[in-house]
Chain A
Amino acid sequence: MIVRIEEKGAVVLIEVKEERLDAHNSGEFKGQMLNLFEEGKNDLVVDLQEVRFVDSSGLGALVSGFKNASARNGNLKLCGLQPQVKSMFELTRLHRVFEIFPGAQEALASF
């Protein structure tokens, strides 16, 4: 699971550098977010620009991150969703849960 983690002031930008976020790598991704929460970093932006495919496990990992961030008075926001990936959020109605931005700059500026 390749991610690029960068601190942008008080917010952490996580760029997922994988074509797929699925049952194979979503557990590891969840672990990487948990490490950030344990370090007290509770405001995250997940950039999915390079992700072409997300399954229910990938969505589950993002839900887990969102719940963890919220429980710590933080937030997890998304950006860079490709059209097919976005349609997955609509199908499962998760587009009503997450704040979704076109790009990382907009997402970071919203905190």
Chain B
Amino acid sequence: MREKIEVNIKVPNQTRYLGLIGKIGEDVARALRKYKGDREELAYHINLVLTEAMANAIRHANEGDPEKEVHITITIMGRSLNIKVYDQGQGFDICSLPSPDFKNLDEHGRGVYIIRSLMDQVTYRKVKRGGHVLEMIKTLQ
């Protein structure tokens, strides 16, 4: 039987919840039944992409408004890992951002590069009921 896990969470638009969501992502990695790779590395990577995507949603898309919400879904279906982070903003197309310039020591601009490096497919699109969703997909070993 194919393993199916679905986690669906909503938190206020505040960075203090980054640790909570990251921890949940790590626990999902540790709970997988058949994963053959390095579990602790996968746990760190899920924590990381969730943290990066949420921080972008909170600061850029939702413009730091504490009244707004961030909605996260983590779905495991067999070997497919799918993470969606929904914002309630006007859109901040992280997919159009260039890769960081490694020669210039810039303080910002590494978050999207990290997400793209660790996940197989990354898309950002409008949602009918308002806001946008950042979808990140990876095939697990």
Contacts and interface: CB of A to CB of B under 8 A. Distances in A.
A interacts with B: yes
Interface of A: 19-20, 22-24, 53, 55-57, 59-61, 63-64, 66-67, 84, 87-88, 91-93, 97
Chain B's interface size range is: 20 to 34
A24 B41 CA distance: 22
Interface of B: 15-16, 18-19, 22, 40-41, 44, 47-48, 51-52, 55, 58-59, 100, 102, 105-108, 110-111, 113-114, 117
Q: Interface SS of chain A: helix, strand, loop or mixed?
A: helix
Contact of A57 (B40, B55, B100): B55
A88 B114 CA distance: 9
Contacts of A66: 105
B44 A92 contact: no
B95 to A, nearest CB: 16
A24 B118 CA distance: 22
19 contacts: A19-B19, A20-B18, A20-B19, A22-B15, A22-B22, A22-B51, A23-B51, A23-B55, A24-B18, A53-B22, A53-B44, A53-B47, A56-B110, A60-B108, A63-B107, A88-B48, A88-B114, A92-B100, A92-B110
